[in-house]
Structure 1
Amino acid sequence: MRGERPGGHTGPDRARAPGAVGVPVDLEAGLAPYAARSAKSRGRRFAEPPPSARSEFQRDRDRIVHSTAFRRLEYKTQVFVNHEGDLFRTRLTHSLEVAQIARSVARNLRVNEDLVEAISLAHDLGHTPFGHAGQDALNECMRGHGGFEHNLQSLAVVDELEEHYGAFDGLNLCFETREGILKHCSREHARQLGELGERFLLGRQPSLEAQIANIADEIAYNNHDVDDGLRSGLLTIEQLAEIELWQMHYEAARAEYPQIEGRRLVHEIVRRIINTLIVDLIDETSRNLARFAPQSLDDVRAAPPIVAHSERVAVQAAALKRFLYRNLYRHYRVMRMANKAQRIVKGLFEAFSDDPRLLPPAYQTHDEASQPRQIAHYIAGMTDRYALKEYRRLFVVSDEV
């Protein structure tokens, strides 16, 4: 990954009010002192003129939404492979759900909604086809070549791989957006990332906006995996009775609506669980803000993690997560599809490694050492259906090339 380039923020976050020429409007008025502000951003890797009628973080969000990688999320899945049904969550619907949850939390805490939305929408841009099974397979293939991790791949997408602008590779996002995308990072990789990797080496925290997006991600995927698991028939309501967080809302829903059944009952319970988690997150984080009393973003970075659930709700959420691991992610039907997915990813990687001429020209390189990374970029960018199609092209005799 390339190091940081000069190119800080070039102007304040202000737009002109309609019909009021020359009268600036502060687009981030009302934020708490510990919120991230565009006007105080650490900037972009390449300097650009300031945007009109939007803040720098709004510009980041817009670039993410218009990116090729974001559109591909529609055909990348969470647990179920894309061809298994149109009603299951995709990475795109998941990212939108994360953004909705994160914005609700950010608004209540008076931090930057535009930044938290940009981070939420971008957090899965580097995910492989076939969810975690695809990532695990690609990481195994890349062992000895620096490994593969989807957070670093998301960063590679926004820093290098998107091709939308004449002046630079990638999307040239603000430091704070890129920082939020990079949730995890080994010390080895952190040393290669310059300023962006410093917090992993120094034990510091990212912005509150990044912390919010991280937990919103967990809230969204845990609860919506429950919904998809029930819809698929891999989970049952009877099984979920052992989970306190589920059962308390099941009983409350049935008490309020005695006749409720089926999908309506599931939706009623899931929405109540999500609401409980969001309200608790806001309340506990508010208590932490009062406790640590940060007066600036630098204070947030120096403090312990501030965005958190209460101890009781954290225990309940962890129990739900363990339940999903045992009963959904390790369900034999999910494991069968995961096994197929890993065979596909590994087969593609091996074929391209054995003969890079099979790759599209844009991913071929004369540098033998960098060729595996180019193969990883190509495979990681595939949708589920494209990976299946590419596999058939390479290994199934047909007229398709």
Structure 2
Amino acid sequence: MTLSIRHTTEQLEETTLSSFAQFSKNSKGRIIPEKECDIRTIYQRDRDRIIHCKSFRSLKEKTQVFIVKNDFFRTRLTHTLEVNQIARTIARALRLNEDLVEAIALGHDLGHTCFGHRGEDVLDRLSGRFRHNEQSLRVVDTLERDGRGLNLTFEVRDGILNHTGPKEPLTLEGKLVRKVDRITYLCHDIQDSMNADILKIEDLPSIVLKRLGSSHSERINTFVIDVINETNKNLKEGINIDIYQSDEILEAMNILRNFMFKNVYYGEVCSEEKKKAEFIVESLYTYFLSHPKEMPIKYYGNISKDGLKRSVTDFIATCTDSHAIEIFHEKFIPSKK
């Protein structure tokens, strides 16, 4: 019997990937069983479903850190693509399953709100609980495909849910995306802060410049090489299955993170923009609680099943920055006509 292309790929995984990798044929499967594809492995199908879904496309107009005012600032989409690229580079070096890494990386931020973490904070306060990783899982499980969800595999769903928060992903591929997500946003947020004239290179702590590098590419390269070397070394020594960094680089990374929170994320410029974003999100949330019939039918129709607060939260969370501003103008700004 002639093997399908998928079967051939699965056999290649067994001969080329690390024993620590998650093999496609060993997936715990989907919530709703499906007939397998003759061409693509189970994780390749997940990746394709994520790329083609509406929530993925909307990431191009959702804030990363700075509300986009020019073409140079990162959006949630460009952040996602950078996480994917760096994670795949490391996965290839470690001989992990790149397709699983890619699916998790591309799907990890699908639940982010308009205006980034500013919108997330407001929805958390008003709804009682909102975490973008939990919303990302809700997007792929429930909201996409008009309520049918994407029916992704257990391993991709686990990686999406646990890319942040108290629990670690179960696969090494998921652990890798979790690590790379932090590395990536710290590095590119430095670059965006410089483009916004908030930081100069000499403002960075000296230990960061010394250990990580003075340019964006140097810092990324330092992190990538360190993760590959430290993980390979620890796995060979039989230490716990995890993604590792050296103490020296991890210390510099934590110093950088504290610096960025103090001077950028909670700095004056971001704080001013944060107030505007929070006002818009809170105004829209309050408005649609009182006027639920004015929501799109797919969200209004979910009220009987999910409740009013949940449905309004889902609607606001799906809005891009520009769509939220447009709705705000429509509902609250008098027309000149």
Fold shared by both chains (TM-score > 0.5): yes
1:184-199 pair list within 5 angstroms: none
Q: Kindly indicate whether residue 207 of structure 2 is the aligned counterpart of residue 244 of structure 1.
A: yes
User: How far off its partner does 1:326 sit?
Assistant: 1.1
Over aligned residue pairs, what C-alpha RMSD do you find?
A: 2.2
Q: Kindly indicate whether residue 95 of structure 2 is the aligned counterpart of residue 158 of structure 1.
A: no
What CA deviation, in whole Å up to 9, does each residue of 1:76-119 have, x standing for no partner?
A: 1111113x222100111111100111011111111101100110
Structure 2 regions of 5+ residues with no counterpart?
A: none
User: How far off its partner does 1:24 sit?
Assistant: 4.0
* Partner residue, 1:96: 81
Q: Distance in 2 between matches of 1:121 and 1:60?
A: 10
* Partner residue, 1:70: 56
Q: Kindly indicate whether residue 104 of structure 2 is the aligned counterpart of residue 119 of structure 1.
A: yes
Q: TM-score, normalised by structure 2?
A: 0.92
* Partner residue, 2:151: 172
Within the candidate set 358, 361, 369, 2:294 is matched to 358
Please state whether the residue corresponding to 1:367 is helix, strand or coil: helix
* Contact 1:151–1:183, Cα closer than 8 Å, also in 2: yes
* Contact 1:36–1:111, Cα closer than 8 Å, also in 2: yes
The one-letter code matched in structure 2 to 1:106 is: A
Q: Kindly indicate whether residue 121 of structure 2 is the aligned counterpart of residue 136 of structure 1.
A: yes
Q: TM-score, normalised by structure 1?
A: 0.78
Q: Distance in 1 between matches of 2:132 and 2:212?
A: 34
* Contact 1:116–1:209, Cα closer than 8 Å, also in 2: yes
* Contact 1:78–1:91, Cα closer than 8 Å, also in 2: yes
User: How far off its partner does 1:358 sit?
Assistant: 2.2
* Contact 2:213–2:219, Cα closer than 8 Å, also in 1: no
Q: Distance in 1 between matches of 2:5 and 2:266?
A: 54
* Partner residue, 1:332: 268
* Partner residue, 2:229: 283
* Partner residue, 1:385: 322
The one-letter code matched in structure 1 to 2:125 is: E
Q: Kindly indicate whether residue 252 of structure 2 is the aligned counterpart of residue 316 of structure 1.
A: yes
What CA deviation, in whole Å up to 9, does each residue of 1:258-288 have, x standing for no partner?
A: xxxxxxxxxxx11011111111111111122
Q: Distance in 1 between matches of 2:164 and 2:103?
A: 20
For the pair shown, the structure with the greater C-alpha radius of gyration is 1
* Contact 2:212–2:222, Cα closer than 8 Å, also in 1: no
User: How far off its partner does 1:184 sit?
Assistant: 6.3
Please state whether the residue corresponding to 2:16 is helix, strand or coil: coil
* Contact 1:357–1:364, Cα closer than 8 Å, also in 2: yes
* Contact 1:245–1:273, Cα closer than 8 Å, also in 2: no
* Partner residue, 1:259: none
If each structure's helix is expressed as a fraction of its own residues, which one has the higher value?
2
Work out the number of aligned pairs and report it.
Answer: 332
* Contact 1:163–1:170, Cα closer than 8 Å, also in 2: yes
* Contact 1:124–1:150, Cα closer than 8 Å, also in 2: yes
Q: Distance in 2 between matches of 1:106 and 1:250?
A: 23
* Contact 1:27–1:55, Cα closer than 8 Å, also in 2: no
Q: Distance in 2 between matches of 1:76 and 1:385?
A: 8
The one-letter code matched in structure 1 to 2:229 is: D
Within the candidate set 190, 206, 212, 2:170 is matched to 206
Q: Distance in 1 between matches of 2:120 and 2:22?
A: 32
